[in-house]
Amino acid sequence: MLRLDRVSVSVGTPDGDLVLLHRTTLSITERRVALIGGNGSGKSTFARLLNGLVEPTTGRVTVGDLDTVDDGPSVRRAVGFVFTDPGAQLVMPTCLEDVALSLRRTVKDKRERLRQARAILDGIGLGDKADTTVHALSGGQKQMLALAGVLATDPQVLVADEPTTLLDLRNTRLVADRLFALPQQLVLVTHDLDLAARCDRALVIDEARVVFDGRPDDAIAHYRASVDAP
């Protein structure tokens, strides 16, 4: 269970404090939850709170019994994170090494690590790309590889920050189908309202506040109305 308890986030700027998320309390138990809202609304901040990439200025964020500030390393192991731009997430020279990097903590033997990484690549249809540079992959392949790299750490929860925004329709479907087939709890930040509709619950975030929380259909209607309203 993910829980935000009176959480707010702000950063100091030369022009004073900038609030990225106003005081929010809620818990997430549903299997799939969508976060929707405009650019700069605070969706990414919300998502990054969940695995400790952003720490709350006030309040507490907990994942099960773990506090994202006090138990940072354990939280990051429990909560996987997929970024919008897979280019930023793929950090090693070759596909194989990138997946193997995720296995570093759990598999100490290097040879065994590479063997498992190869099996994971085979599983997402990139087996023949093991030794090619990650920059030679297509956008969809990169995002699938990034996802595989995150899943290799075996997280309990997966947070994905607009994972399909940079992809074409075919690759969006490929990545989305993979995400929705996962057994893990999924928190999905997205501009793709079709994807949001497939979730169990949706939060609409606007100007650093959660302005709607409920069934995806209602949330989408609320979001559309807020954009259409003058």
Partner 1 sequence: MSPELISAYRPGSTLLHRIPAGPKLGLLAAYGVVTVVATGPWTAIGFLAFSLALVVWVRIPWRTAVRALRPLLLVVVLVTAFQVWQRGWPAAIHVVGDLLALFVAALVFTATTRIDALLDAIVRGLGPFRRVGVDPEKVALAFSLMIGAIPGVMTIARETRDAAKARGLERDPRALLVPMAIRTVAHAYDTGAALHARGIGDD
Partner 2 sequence: MTSTTRKGRRAAVSTTDLALIATFAALIAVCAIMPAVNTGSGTPFTLQMFGIFLAGATLGATRGFLAVVLYLAVGTAGLPIFTQGAAGPATWAGVTGGYLLAFPLAALLVGLVAARVARSKPARFVVIVSVVAAIVTIAVVGTLGTLGMAWKLDVSLRVAWGYATPFFVYDIIKGVLAAVVAASVHRAFPQLTARR
Contact residues: partner 2, CB under 8 A: 9, 11, 20, 44, 48, 52-55, 72, 84, 91
Smallest separation (angstroms) from partner 2 to the CB of 55? 6
Smallest separation (angstroms) from partner 2 to the CB of 156? 21
Smallest separation (angstroms) from partner 2 to the CB of 147? 19
Contact residues: partner 1, CB under 8 A: 51-53, 72-73, 76-77, 80-81, 83, 85, 87-93, 97-98, 101-102, 104-105, 133-135, 149-150, 153
Nearest to partner 1 of 10, 94 (CB atom): 94
Query: Which does residue 214 touch among partner 1, partner 2, none (CB within 5 to 8 A, set by kind)?
Result: none
Smallest separation (angstroms) from partner 2 to the CB of 193? 22
Query: Which does residue 41 touch among partner 2, partner 1, none (CB within 5 to 8 A, set by kind)?
Result: none
Residue that has been written with the tokens 């995720």 in this structure: 102
Residue among 57, 47, 55, 88 nearest 72 (CA): 55
Residue among 46, 22, 23 nearest 33 (CA): 46
Query: Which does residue 134 touch among partner 1, partner 2, none (CB within 5 to 8 A, set by kind)?
Result: partner 1
Nearest to partner 2 of 81, 212 (CB atom): 81
Smallest separation (angstroms) from partner 1 to the CB of 218? 31
Nearest to partner 2 of 82, 220 (CB atom): 82
CA distance 205 to 216: 13
